[in-house]
Amino acid sequence: DAKTTQPPSMDCAEGRAANLPCNHSTISGNEYVYWYRQIHSQGPQYIIHGLKNNETNEMASLIITEDRKSSTLILPHATLRDTAVYYCIVRVGSMNTGFQKLVFGTGTRLLVSP
């Protein structure tokens, strides 16, 4: 089961900032928050990840609350091509191998309109 909760859908006007929230209240101290998006059934595209500090790259910014129980992905100037399903993921560790797999929930369907 996914360890995150996201709204099922959001709308955003083109050119405006899109702020996508995610709750991960059971996150452990060493678990990272990852964001991926999937555009129309293509392969998931990596966006950004973080542990406890805010992160920024050429695609987006990630704001993680001080208690790490929630985070927000910010697309500063949304375009029509940002219409996609956005997945917030907490990597889940394996007791046997230490391997941490990605557990995808249902994500947030972001619709960017002209």
Binding footprint of other proteins on the chain (CB under 8 A): 2, 32, 34, 36, 41-46, 49, 87, 91, 94, 96-97, 99-107
Backbone phi, then psi, for 81, in 5-degree steps? -75, -5
Contact 68, 22 (CB under 8 A): no
In whole angstroms, how close is the CB of 114 to other proteins at the nearest point? 26
Task: Return the number of the residue (8 or 114) whose C-beta is nearest other proteins.
Answer: 8
Instruction: Give the pairing of strands 108-113 and 9-13.
Output: parallel
Nearer of residues 72 and 100 to other proteins, judged by Cβ: 100
Closest approach, Cβ 77 to other proteins, in A, equals 24
Contacts of 103 (CB under 8 A, 6+ apart): 1, 2, 3, 89, 90, 91, 92
Compare residues 94 and 114 and give the one whose CB is closer to other proteins.
Answer: 94
Minimum CB separation from other proteins for residue 7, in Å? Answer: 15
